[in-house]
Amino acid sequence: MEALGYYNGAYGPLDEMTVPMTDRAVYYGDGVYEATPTRNKVIYALDAHVNRMLRSASLLRIDMPMDTEALKAELKRMVALVDGGDNVLYWQLSRGTARRAHPFPEGTKANLMMMITPYRFPDLTQYVKCITLEDTRFLHCNIKTLNLIPSIMAMQTAKEQGCYEAILHRGGRVTECSKSNVHILKDGRLITAPADNLILSGIARAHLLEACAALGIPAEERPYTVKELMRADEILITSSTSFLRRAVSVDGQDAGAKDPENFEALKSYVWTRFLRETSV
């Protein structure tokens, strides 16, 4: 089986799985999620993703329906059940199942959903185009919540303009992309937005900072502007499933692509780390 689904302990072909209409994820998006690639049936950065889900769930006051080790065991079982080793594993936690009412329902247990599908890893030698858009999301972007409508609309706009991503900003301050983090290189220094409530602190972002430390590239976590983005030597897009992409065009203008040495070093480090961690 290539695509498998899971809901509260029940497994089945993904396209045949259903969830209750009264799951609070359905009508409120009341939940959190994670996703990461697998290779050779190894889940990449599993601990980091599980720990982030625990933080997100805690911020929304959602109780985990099982302990951490049991969750990891269930995720590993999911991976073992499918054919092929190159997949994307997605899992989400909703507050529970209850009739529609805004306050938290009493006496309900959180619902756990998982799905796994085949994945083709991106060609990191292919550079990408981006657009900029005003960030219209709410002020809890540090929580990996299911509420993604602004991100979906931003990504659709980028797609319709033939672009890979939408780089979001609030009043000119760059935050992140619709489904990625964004960073710049300037004068040999990496600059990335601070991990406050305006961005999701990505696992791939952490790996990029690790790469900078290993390679001796100074890194600075601070707010930066769209103007700085357009003047940057490199524009880097990171996410768990796309690793590290190089943007060479923003809003139809050439941008970045001026520091190939540092870009190639960072790309090599990030990709090699993934290959090493998912080898058997």
Catalytic residue numbers read 144
Which residues have a Cβ under 8 Å from the Cβ of 9 and sit 6 or more positions away? none
CB 45 within 8 A of CB 277: yes
Dmax (CA) of the chain: 57
CB 48 within 8 A of CB 206: yes
- Token pair for 194: 């601070």
Helix (DSSP H) and strand (DSSP E) numbers for the chain: 7, 15
For tokens 């992309």, name the residue. 177
Alpha-carbon distance of 136 to 76, in angstroms, equals 36
Closest Cα to residue 181, out of 235, 256, 218, 133? 235
10 Å Cβ neighbour count for 127? Answer: 15
Alpha-carbon distance of 60 to 274, in angstroms, equals 31
SS3 for 207-231, per residue?
HHHHHHHHHCCCEEECCCEHHHHHC
Which residues have a Cβ under 8 Å from the Cβ of 54 and sit 6 or more positions away? 64, 68
Report CA torsion sign: 7, 51, 220, 207.
negative
- Token pair for 72: 């990891």
